[in-house]
Amino acid sequence: MTLELDRRSLLGAASVGAALMMSDSAAIAKVAEAKKPLFGPAPGIALLSRNENPYGPAPSAIKAIYDTASKGCYYADVGLKTLTEMIAERHGVGTENVVVSSGSTEVLCSVALAWADKGAILCPELFWDTTVNYGAKKGADVVRVPLADDMGIDLDAMTAALSPEIGLVHICNPNNPTGMVLDGDDLRGFIRKSSGDATILVDEAYNELTDKPEYSSVVDLVKEGHDIIVCRTFSKIYGMAGMRVGYAITSPENAEKIRGYLMSFGGNMSGLAAAIASLNDTGFTRYSKNRIVEARSSIMDTLDGLGMEVLPSQTNFLYVKVPDADTVQAQMAQRDIMIRGSYGDQWKSWSRVSTGKIEDVERYNTALTQLFGT
């Protein structure tokens, strides 16, 4: 009898202990979740997967956000008009040529929707195609052209693929995820030959990070009167990815059509204030670019030392040849380093890593050496 009671007591105690352990685990998980920040990576996480610039926003932008936050009860029409005028002045066009949007994503999606009834969308086989999918969902055919042997966008092949059925040509320059930039004169030649047959949409999200931003950009062709839409963003060099401010430069006719498909209304006051403050903040953009180039060079040096192949990048990310991108992504995640996985079966051996904070890039370099060093 005593033995049975002792046994029951032990079992009961064990059950209570297990319940307490479960309760403790739940409590720990709850505390961990509570400590997880609403925005940005959790402490100890190296976030190198989303092409963000963690050195922004600029101090001038942060001050502008602080100064205007108390006026968030008002619509931001005047701020929207002011930023539109500043962008027009920066690029030497009229305000009627500029469309400000909620990140360049909104204007890219609006173009895909607005041009979906004009015909098929012609684009490279590999690029940031999220926005093109909006047009596809509306019924537009998407014609994908294989990349060149060096993984660059094949403009000759795209020229050959043009037909009366094509309504829109979408190019990302520099391209994402490859990071490669097209030669400025080659791209201008392609547009001059092709813009009479279809509207050319060029996503220049990473233009300011290139070695020759003005040479790589095709904004000048808008002023020449070609049927072209150029998109820019404050998400990259300005470090405002979460604030959602972008814009397009195009003909007044195209701009009016695009505005009819925008979903946001009047602009985000904090984002507009930050964009107005930092658009001409050359001190910050110079600092930002220098830090990105420093991080990119650090990764390149590590890859060179390991004898690993990487594509020539003029962005804040690199496309690295590995045995299996998804496996490397998982191995990095075990070390609290977040990078991108594969972009489909055709590119399973290519891994994209962003240039985040220098200390996080150094963690990536160390992990890469551990995984692939001899």
Residue 203 β-bridge partners: 172, 231
Last residue of a domain, one of 253, 280, 307: 280
Q: What tokens does 60 get? A: 């001038």
Residue 109 lies in a domain: yes
Same domain? For 183 and 109 the reply is yes
DSSP for 313-374 reads --SSEEEEE-S-HHHHHHHHHTTTEE----SSGGGTTEEEEE---HHHHHHHHHHHHHHH--
Predicted pLDDT at 28: 45
Same domain? For 304 and 229 the reply is no
Predicted pLDDT at 35: 62
Residue at 89: amino acid letter: E
Same domain? For 165 and 290 the reply is no
Compute φ and ψ for 79, nearest 5 degrees.
-65, -40
Question: Which CATH number does the domain housing residue 115 bear?
Answer: 3.40.640.10
Q: In whole angstroms, what is the distance from residue 66 CA to residue 62 CA?
A: 6
Same domain? For 132 and 262 the reply is yes
Residue 66 lies in a domain: yes
Predicted pLDDT at 130: 84
Predicted pLDDT at 264: 85
Last residue of a domain, one of 280, 299, 331: 280
Neighbours of 246 (CB within 10 A): 24
Same domain? For 147 and 215 the reply is yes
228 touches 193 (CB < 8 A): no
Residue 28 lies in a domain: no
Predicted pLDDT at 29: 53
Same domain? For 143 and 260 the reply is yes
Residue 166 lies in a domain: yes
Same domain? For 174 and 214 the reply is yes
Predicted pLDDT at 352: 98
Those residues with Cβ within 8 angstroms of residue 308's Cβ, 6 or more apart along the chain or in another chain: 320, 321, 322, 368, 372
Same domain? For 84 and 174 the reply is yes
Low-confidence ranges of the chain (pLDDT < 70): 1-35
Same domain? For 250 and 324 the reply is no
Same domain? For 205 and 300 the reply is no
305-315 pLDDT per residue, tens: 999 999 999 99
Question: Which CATH number does the domain housing residue 356 bear?
Answer: 3.90.1150.10
Last residue of a domain, one of 280, 313, 339: 280
Please state the domain count of the chain: 2
Residue 18 lies in a domain: no
Same domain? For 178 and 270 the reply is yes
Range of the domain at 357: 46-54+283-372
Report the greatest alpha carbon distance in the chain. Answer: 99
Residue 122 lies in a domain: yes
45-73 pLDDT per residue, tens: 999 999 999 999 999 999 999 999 999 99
Residue 15 lies in a domain: no
Residue at 248: amino acid letter: A
Residue 322, sorted as left (phi over 0), alpha (psi -120 to 50) or beta, turns out to be beta
Q: In whole angstroms, what is the distance from residue 38 CA to residue 171 CA?
A: 34
Same domain? For 221 and 106 the reply is yes
Residue 7 lies in a domain: no
